[in-house]
Amino acid sequence: MLWVKAFHIVFVASWFAGLFYLPRIFVNLAMVDAASTAERERLLLMARKLFRFMTLLAMPALALGLWLWWGYGIGRGPGNGWMHAKWLIVVLLIGYHHACGRILKQFESGGNRRSHVWYRWFNEVPVVMLILAVILVVVKPF
């Protein structure tokens, strides 16, 4: 079980690195001058590669988390309400991940209508989710 837990943590941390950095690329894309096609294309290439990579990292993170929950019974049974809250956070993070994919497609098609300030706030969402998830797992408040 400890190997599964260790690799779950590694893949979650790696997935979060992408969730933290991709919106930062969106901030930069929103700030690119319309005449600067080379810079825009370079940032889009980086964003596409990062999105693909973080998607590949999310899959084992989720699979290993399910294995810990279902296979080893971590967070199951009475007195484990914290796990239900953590699952909600995981679902929200999957939604955030998909939202990043939609935003990337908007940038690729030239359809972005949001400012760099909006993306700076958007970039804070996974930080809050990580803090909440860690508190739930470590403290188990309910």
Number of H helices, E strands in the chain: 6, 0
Among residues 9, 12, 6, 30, the alpha carbon closest in space to that of 94 is found at: 12
Q: Is 19 strand, coil or helix?
A: helix
Neighbours of 40 (CB within 10 A): 18
Mean pLDDT of the chain: 96
Domain with 107 in it: 2-139
Decide if pLDDT at 31 tops 90.
yes
Of 5-14, 17-26, 65-74, 102-111, minimum mean pLDDT range: 65-74
pLDDT score for 7: 98
- In this prediction, residues 133-138 reach a mean pLDDT of 96
Which band of pLDDT confidence, cut at 50, 70 and 90, is reported for residue 75? Answer: confident
- In this prediction, residues 17-25 reach a mean pLDDT of 98
**9-21 residues labelled b (16+ CB within 10 A) or e (exposed):** eebbebbbebbeb
Dist. CA 140–CA 80, nearest whole Å: 8
How many structural domains is the chain composed of? 1
Q: Is 58 strand, coil or helix?
A: helix
Over residues 79-118, the pLDDT tens digits come to 899 999 999 999 999 999 999 999 999 999 999 999 999 9
On whether the CB atoms of residues 130 and 93 are closer than 8 A, the answer is: no
Q: What percent of the chain has pLDDT over 70?
A: 100
